[in-house]
Structures are given as structure tokens and as C-alpha cells.
Amino acid sequence: MLPIPVFDFHAHLPYRGRELWGPWGERFADRFGREKLALWGTKNHAAQRDWWMRFRFPEPENPQPEPAEAARRFAAEVERYGLLGLVFVTGGGNQRLAEAIRPHPRLYGFAHHDPFLPDAPERLLRAVKEFGLVGYKVFAPALTRRLDDPVLDPLWATAEELGVPVLVHFGPLGGAMGVAAGPNINPLVLHDVAKGFPRLNFVVPHFGCGYVRELLHLMWAVDNVHVDTSGNNEWRRYQWPVPTLKDLFQVFLEAFGPDRILFGSDSSHFPRGWVVAYFDEQYRALLELGVDEAALRKIFAGNALRLLGRLDPGAGG
């Protein structure tokens, strides 16, 4: 069991046939060919293998289990570690994810369809009202149009009316050999949208994934943007000077306090399962900073539960 209540705000349900690159990949393939897109996918996988070896993670099963089985195994991980809950921000489609997690009351899911689909607002409404999903996830670098395009205003208005949080990945996508440029690489593209929908809570994962200064500017300008801590934060190796996890926690805590920081693991495949190693290093960093228990409870559970409208008096926040 863990030393503090934990609600994991950021994980991925594995599924077969995953396409990481989205519209960016389609545009790349149209210009350069699918063989070259596949080549970069192979390079990306090799780079991930190097990171797994650094953490002594086992090689992912190939193929990964079907969604229902993956959800069952993650539910067992939730029991094993005593998690209050776990959110899958992707899972191979809204309905597929919803059906997979339905039997497991401590597993939650986000809608994750393309925001530029003509019926994107209706899809979000259905995902929340009919499927029981509790938020919306966007891979911004995978898109070829800007997120502040007014055509998306009905989508943001729908999310605001539903009262669900929106998690938007900025910065490099997919780790080394992934996508590192595009119209939505910088979180400041969300500036006008966040101001235009002040009751809509946005979350930017991975401490901004290389765009720390820009995320700090965004969070200074708007108080409805939060940060999540998820994953290996490998991007730190490509900054100068290289920030430690303590550095990242300290700057966000000093700027905004503990109320806008949410823990995530970025767990995503088996046999690794829930990545307790990422929890351990984040928890240790916060203890070394001298963060008190009330703040720890907010970061590791209370803030996520508050954004999801599921307050737990035992979690803090």
C-alpha cells in the first residue's frame, strides 16, 4: 500500500492498432509516404525501449491485451496499490474505452476524439452523457490546425457546460523520435481559449513537456489551467540546465501553491502495469522539498477528485 491516498489522473488503456501520430501522421504520409512514417515509428519504439531499460521495465507484451482484459488487469493494480481511482485519458475510442472500464468502479475514462471532427461537440456530449466518461483529452502536436481556431468554440462550450476537465498534451509527442514541432507545440496557444471559457478547467500534463516557461506564463495569465506531473518526464534531458523533479515541483509550488498540481503516472502497457516507480520518485522529491501532508494530499488525490466532482474527505483538497 502507498503512504498517502493516490488518485492517478493520467494513464492510457492499451489497445491494438494504435496510431500515435493522428492527423500529423496522415499529412506526413501523404507527403513522404507511409514507409517513412513507419520508419519513424520504428525509431520511436527503439527509443522507448532504451528508456524502459533505464528503469528496468520489461518489454511490453506484443500484442497488448484487448481493452476489457487490460481494464481488468489495471483494476487489479488499483486494488494492489490501494489507489482511490485511475483515469485513462485514451483507450482506442470513446465507446471502446467506456465499455472496457464499465465493470470497474475505480476506473475512469476521458473522451479522446479529434476536436476538428464536424460533430466533435456532439461526440463529447454523448461520451459524457451516454458512455459515462468524465473528461476530454487532446494530443495537440498531432493536430495540423491551431487549437485557438474559433471553429472549436462550440466544443469548448460543450465541455464547459458539462463541467468536465480538458487535458491537453503540448510539447514533444511520443518521446524521442516523436513529433517535436507544429502549430500547437506551445501551451500558450491555449491562452485565449482558457480566457474565453473561464469556467472550463484545463490540465497540461508532464509539467509542460519542455515548455515550462510557457506553461508558467499561461498559468499566471489564467487560473483555470492546471499542471499534471505524469510520466518519466524524459524531456528534462533535453533542457539546459537540466531541471530535476524537485526543481519542477518547487517552481510550480512557489508560483501557484499545491491546488493546481495533479499527480499522474502515464501508465500504459503490460506487463509493467501501474508505474509505482514514477510515484516513488515524485513522492520522494516532494518530501525532500518539505511539502506538508495537506499539500501532498491535494497533489496526489484531492485536486483530481475536485476537478472530477468526486470529492473524498480522506484525500484532502
pLDDT digits (tens, 9 = 90+) for 83-135: 999 999 999 999 999 999 999 999 999 999 999 999 999 999 999 999 999 99
| Domain boundaries 7-307, corresponding CATH code | 3.20.20.140
d(CA 125, CA 96): 16
pLDDT in tens, 295-315: 999 999 999 999 999 866 456
pLDDT in tens, 196-240: 999 999 999 999 999 999 999 999 999 999 999 999 998 999 999
Q: Return the percentage of the chain with pLDDT > 90, whole number.
A: 86
What pLDDT shows up at residue 55? 77
Q: What is the mean pLDDT of residues 139-152?
A: 97
136: β partners: 111, 166
Q: What is the reported pLDDT for 73?
A: 98
For residue 54, the model assigns a pLDDT of 78
Reported as a pLDDT band with limits 50, 70 and 90, residue 258 is very high
Per domain, the residue ranges of the chain are 7-307
Judge whether residue 17 has pLDDT over 70.
no
**What is the reported pLDDT for 151?**
98
Compute the average pLDDT of residues 245-270: 97
| Full strand arrangement of the beta sheet holding 225-228 | 136-139, 166-169, 202-204, 225-228, 261-262
What's the grid cell of residue 276? 509505482
Q: Which of 18-22, 24-28, 193-197 shows the lowest mean pLDDT across its residues?
A: 18-22
3-state secondary structure of 137: strand
Nearest to 297 by CA among 268, 264, 263: 263
Predicted local confidence at residue 312, as pLDDT: 62
Cβ neighbors of 11 (< 8 A, separation 6 or more) are 74, 86, 87, 88, 89, 264, 265, 266, 267, 268, 274
Q: Is 38 helix (H, G, I), strand (E, B) or coil?
A: helix
Share of the chain above pLDDT 70, in %: 97
Can you give the C-alpha Rg of the chain in angstroms?
18
Angle (nearest 5°) at CA 11 between 6 and 17: 160
Cα distances from 1 to residues 4, 108, 316, in angstroms, run 9, 21, 18
Distance between CA 9 and CA 269 in Å, rounded? 16
Residue 289 has pLDDT above 70, yes or no: yes
- Give me the sign of the Cα torsion angle 250, 251, 254, 255: negative
3-state secondary structure of 131: coil
How high is the pLDDT of residue 291?
A: 98
Q: Which of 18-32, 88-102, 158-172, 207-221 has the lowest mean pLDDT?
A: 18-32
**What crossing angle do the helices spanning 120-129 and 94-101 adopt, rounded to 10°?**
10
Whether 202 contacts 226, CB under 8 Å: yes
Residue 62: pLDDT band with limits 50, 70, 90: confident
Give dist(CA 228, CA 205) in Å, integer: 4
